[in-house]
Structure 1
Amino acid sequence: MSSLIASVRQIFYRPWLLASLVALASAALLLAASVGVTLQQMKQSESAQMNARGERFLERLEQVFGQLREGVDQLQTLPMRGCDAAMLSALRQVGLSYRFVYEAVYVDGDIACSSRGGEQVMRPMRAPDIQGPTYSYWLNTTTEPNENLAALMLGRGHFLVSTSRGHLTDVVDLPPGGSLLVVLDRGSRAIPVLGPPQSWPPAPDWPPPSRKALIELSDRLVYRMPTKSPDYQLVLIAPRASLPLKLNGMLWLLFPGSLLLACCIGWLVLQLILQRRSMSSELQQALRRGELQVLYQPIFELDSRRCVGAEALVRWRRPDGSLTSPELFIPLAENTGQIRPITDFVLQRVLEQLGQLLRANRHLYISVNLAACDVMVPRIGRVAARLLAQHRVSATQIAFEVTERGLIDVVVARDNLQALRSVGHQVLIDDFGTGYCSLAYLQTLPVDCLKIDKAFIDALGHDAASSGVAPHIIRMAHDLHLRVIAEGIECEDQAVLLNSEGVNYGQGWLFAHPLNARQFAELITRGRRMGGRRIDDEP
């Protein structure tokens, strides 16, 4: 396992290799997505074509069946019977009047005559496939390729009319391998009128519960065409295309576009890695060159405006005088593991700069922020013990602030925080209300104080959705016998309101901006109250 982890780390320390892997993975995903989109669109297009074709078939076939019915109805109304000249003329007239009537026949026993003349007269060779109260239907009366042979026959009384295969193929354009079926006996039997025979039913659970006309099966498309006759239904079946990947217009765009986007993703990843590695290297150099500095944000008692401590803040001032935001380099340091030497640096610098001040003012304390990696291991306790012994400062004067987001494993964090607290350190929950620390967890954690995030302080006195959060946190802290520090106080009204709610301590620009060690020491030694000017207002 350790060798695997080492190999993974080696990959992450090779920007070009990692960027190439990301580009390849992105290309594979994007190409797979492109193929999927193309296949889906091809299937949708195939279904849409089948739908349109089915609607067109239904319209045309209804014309065919309608003309056959009209033709045989017209013959049935004739008063004459037999095969005289008048009957032959009537038969020919029906054949000429209706486009889809190929032949009209009169049959009465051995007497038979046809609109087409000649001695050979079309006769049904089997019982009708559909025997309705009015009409009889013979389907697929011939399978021969001759288009001049009757393929569909309809009878009423002594009269028969038929349409030829040529007429049907003229109005119905079957897809390759498709068939036009007439479904009988409530869907239990199907006879092909055009095309090859098809297995019926097309699915084990036929008919499906869906009432949609187009049924999409894995290997076939089935279009159900409702008819005006209750005796039969028309069904068009076509095999699904194998959907070969063709470089159609969409793929010509998707494939190169996917590759180009994958290259862009790889390039962005490379730039991000190089930037982070560059900043990580600069941060490491900054520690060695002493570019990091510690400032102190004073914490005041709201009632007396007496300074009781400060929060140690780390700042990175580059050689050109510019400041790098902690929101940029602190997360980077946490991800790269550099946060530990930074925390040690802050703790050491606090005791170096303020050790004498802390020894002279036993009520004063400095709080140091801990990252999640130091909350999860007992390392920082040993470092603090060594430095406190070196500078002869009490453990009660160094507090540790942890954020809710740093409590990854509450059980492990509780044990490590309890170890710090047992030797005298105070434990503060920073930015409370912005993480996921529930009341149940908070009750089990060894905590001395809650710090309310500035966002909730800013909402006080405004019609904001979060304006009631701060009072709720204050009441909860009092119920748990915890002190409360309000962060980000910027106006006197906020300080007064918080004091009236039972908050005894606060920090923010109302009292002072972050101070350097000299300014903070002057604030303490001169015992200046901050009700008038701030110390950083002085020249």
Structure 2
Amino acid sequence: MQPIIDLKSGTLRRVEALARLTLANGAVVPPDRFVPQLSGNDLDELFRIGLNEALGWVAAWEQDGLALDVSVNLAPSTLVHPRCTRWVAKALRRHGLAANRLSLELLETQELDAAASRSVLEELTGLGVGLALDDLGSGHSSLKRLAQLPFDTIKIDRGLLAGVETKPVETLSLIATLSQMGRDMGAAVVLEGIENAGLAEAASVLGASLGQGYYFARPMPAADVPSWAAGFGLRPDRADRLHTELGALAFHWQFTRWGSPHPFAVDVCPLTEFIADRGIAGSASKLWHDLQHGLDGGHDQASLPLLDWLVDLSLGQMGQRGGLRAGA
């Protein structure tokens, strides 16, 4: 199980059930190595086993006072199996759980017949089950699927974060664009692959509602979830301030993107406190920031220098050297 965190409140929202294959010698094989070797019948069986185990753990945790929802992966070939909806309904009844406690994540491992799958997805949503499109932006037919099928959650592919240490502005642009697309379609947005506090804050600033990744927790045995949840706490002392360089860059980039000044009075802008906290209140960055709040067009001259300064800060935080300019 891997936790999925609400980026605004810092609370645990649900877990994703992940498949692992344990060999006779004790070696553990990840799904990207063994799932492609499975036949359609094997994938059906894996889904039924995984679904039953995942819901069983949810029911057991609830008896111990921990109420969590769960996501289970679903292959397209299993989705269109004539008995798929019955398998789901039967498993929910077996464990005495409401359908809205379960979300099914549609894998990108196979081609999907949209017409054939739509009726099944409508049956599942009729039960009350949530539906998530996995790995949006991974280069498959995700955007077409998102437009055609009734998903209530999208998961942004972790591969999009790979360039954040060299091209942070471009990476933030991808996150923001896909997050906005999800919100426009009425879907919750989960950013996968969050590995540090900067990415967590930037994702929240740019509108992703949920996050998943090693920064919060690595996948863990289901039996370990209650003790982990009891000790987890992410919410900062002040949620209205900027805590990281990448978060500050994301905050300012939003307004640079649209050629807009910051919309707050400078004394209450989160970036004012960010600059002061770093002991650089007398630097050129403060002047640029003050101009960014000007209503006389001064932000036009200040926005890009301030952006470049924040890029350099972010790259320095992430271990990079040199004055790489935004967009380089």
Tell me the equivalent position of 2:271. none
Higher deviation after alignment, 472-481 or 320-329: 320-329
Ranges in structure 2 where 5+ consecutive residues have no aligned partner:
237-328
Q: Which has the higher contact order (CA 8 A, sep 6+)?
A: 2
Deviation at 1:399, TM superposition (A): 0.7
Tell me the equivalent position of 1:514. 219
Q: Higher strand share goes to which structure?
A: 1
The answer as to 2:112 corresponding to 1:393 is: no
Matches within 5 A, 1:37-116: none
Secondary structure, in 3 states, of the residue corresponding to 1:420? Answer: helix
Q: Is the 8 A contact 1:448 1:482 kept in 2?
A: yes
> In 1, Cα distance between the equivalents of 2:66 and 2:223?
18
Secondary structure, in 3 states, of the residue corresponding to 1:314? Answer: coil
Q: Is the 8 A contact 2:136 2:142 kept in 1?
A: no
Structure 2 counterpart of 1:453, one-letter code:
D
Report Cα offsets for 1:397-448 as digits up to 9, x if no partner.
1110003454521111121111111111000000111143364542331100
Q: Is the 8 A contact 1:405 1:436 kept in 2?
A: no
Tell me the equivalent position of 2:36. 331
Report Cα offsets for 1:474-503 as digits up to 9, x if no partner.
111111121100101001000010000011
Tell me the equivalent position of 1:63. none
RMSD: 2.4
The 1:404–1:469 alpha-carbon spacing in structure 2 relative to 1, beyond 3 Å, is farther
The answer as to 2:19 corresponding to 1:309 is: no
> In 1, Cα distance between the equivalents of 2:46 and 2:124?
19
> In 1, Cα distance between the equivalents of 2:147 and 2:64?
35
Tell me the equivalent position of 1:486. 191
Deviation at 1:457, TM superposition (A): 2.5
Tell me the equivalent position of 2:2. 297
Deviation at 1:352, TM superposition (A): 2.4
Secondary structure, in 3 states, of the residue corresponding to 1:319? Answer: coil
Tell me the equivalent position of 2:206. 501
Over the matched positions of the two proteins, sequence identity in percent amounts to 28
Tell me the equivalent position of 1:352. 56
The answer as to 2:151 corresponding to 1:453 is: no
Which is higher, the Rg of structure 1 or of structure 2? 1
Secondary structure, in 3 states, of the residue corresponding to 2:15? Answer: strand
Q: Is the 8 A contact 1:456 1:466 kept in 2?
A: no
> In 2, Cα distance between the equivalents of 1:362 and 1:353?
11
Structure 2 counterpart of 1:444, one-letter code:
Q
Structure 1 counterpart of 2:180, one-letter code:
R
Report Cα offsets for 1:13-63 as digits up to 9, x if no partner.
xxxxxxxxxxxxxxxxxxxxxxxxxxxxxxxxxxxxxxxxxxxxxxxxxxx
The 1:489–1:366 alpha-carbon spacing in structure 2 relative to 1, beyond 3 Å, is same
Structure 2 counterpart of 1:325, one-letter code:
P
Q: Is the 8 A contact 1:395 1:425 kept in 2?
A: yes
Tell me the equivalent position of 2:113. 409
Structure 1 counterpart of 2:32, one-letter code:
E
Secondary structure, in 3 states, of the residue corresponding to 1:337? Answer: helix
Deviation at 1:337, TM superposition (A): 2.8
Q: Is the 8 A contact 2:11 2:235 kept in 1?
A: no
Q: Is the 8 A contact 1:358 1:365 kept in 2?
A: no
The 1:359–1:407 alpha-carbon spacing in structure 2 relative to 1, beyond 3 Å, is farther
> In 1, Cα distance between the equivalents of 2:65 and 2:129?
16
> In 2, Cα distance between the equivalents of 1:356 and 1:363?
10
The 1:358–1:452 alpha-carbon spacing in structure 2 relative to 1, beyond 3 Å, is farther
The 1:413–1:316 alpha-carbon spacing in structure 2 relative to 1, beyond 3 Å, is same
The 1:530–1:464 alpha-carbon spacing in structure 2 relative to 1, beyond 3 Å, is closer
The 1:494–1:451 alpha-carbon spacing in structure 2 relative to 1, beyond 3 Å, is same
Tell me the equivalent position of 1:369. 73
The TM-score, its normalising length taken from structure 1, stands at 0.41
The 1:393–1:509 alpha-carbon spacing in structure 2 relative to 1, beyond 3 Å, is same
Matches within 5 A, 1:282-293: none
Structure 1 counterpart of 2:138, one-letter code:
T
Ranges in structure 1 where 5+ consecutive residues have no aligned partner:
1-295, 533-539
Deviation at 1:378, TM superposition (A): 4.0
